[in-house]
Amino acid sequence: MNWTWFHKLGSPPHFYRIAGAMIPWFGWPAAVLLFAGLYGGLWLAPPDYQMGDGFRIIYVHVPAAWLSMAAYVALAVSAAVGLIWRMKLAELAARNIAPLGAAFTLLTLVTGSLWGRPMWGTWWEWDARMTSELVLLFLYLGYIALHDAFPERRTGARASAILALVGLVNIPIIHFSVEWWHSLHQGATITKLSAPSIATEMLVPLLVMALGFTAYFTAVVLVRLRVALLESERDTAWVRALGADDV
């Protein structure tokens, strides 16, 4: 198998150019998808027969929850690539994914609490789903703190990568927690072996929002990585050449 593409992608100047070209392809669709999803979810979708209009918070809560887990998997994979192949770009990717993943996890917890108060009569319950999602937030914060605790960047990247890989065990726990343990949290409505137990007019905006969140996340990660590359490679010839081209 030819791994030339993999090594080229790990080249900072090569990735910088590719990322710059890709950002509009994720940024603009993200704006369109988020607008369409919010419009469909907040105005076009009918009220839920049990929760009324209160269910509409799912159009933020569910995509945020999806991204909180997907971002952690992306973080762990990037950290593993950096740990195994000592690829600087992968280490930078993991470090720049972490704050976004933490933000989506916090948004998941806050919106879940706002949803839970009127629906369940409590802001918080120490059930398996909520607790494992809170653990995910601590994993993100722990990764960031451990990464930045070492004066030598590569040492911090390797130490935090081990934590990220160990923390992967929490992802299936979050996903299957409502099936494995008794929980206030409702079970799966979309990712079921049978048909999703949600009306189509409610499901479509939710899927659009999930795509919008994913596109937004990708665009922001690419922007953050370009900035991080410029900072870490500021003394290299290719960055100086970029500055000369802008004069």
Measured CA to CA, the distance from residue 204 to residue 40 in angstroms comes to 8
Measured CA to CA, the distance from residue 140 to residue 134 in angstroms comes to 10
Structure tokens at 42: 């907040």
Per-residue pLDDT of the chain (247 residues; tens, 9 = 90+): 556 656 666 789 999 999 999 999 999 999 999 999 999 999 999 998 778 888 899 999 999 999 999 999 999 999 999 999 999 999 999 999 999 999 999 999 999 999 888 877 888 888 889 999 999 999 999 999 999 999 999 999 999 999 999 999 999 999 888 777 766 666 555 554 455 668 889 999 999 999 999 999 999 999 999 999 999 999 999 999 887 665 3
Give Cβ neighbours of residue 164 (< 8 Å, ≥ 6 apart): 72, 75, 76, 79, 80, 94, 139, 143
Q: What's the confidence (pLDDT) of residue 231? A: 94
Q: What's the confidence (pLDDT) of residue 87? A: 92
Q: What's the confidence (pLDDT) of residue 247? A: 38
* pTM summary value: 0.91
Indicate the residue type of 59: Y
Domains of the chain and CATH, by start: 25-242 (1.20.120)
Q: Is 192 exposed, middle or buried (0-12, 13-18, 19+ CB in 10 A)?
A: exposed
Q: Which of 109, 100, 81 is nearest to 219 (CA)?
A: 100
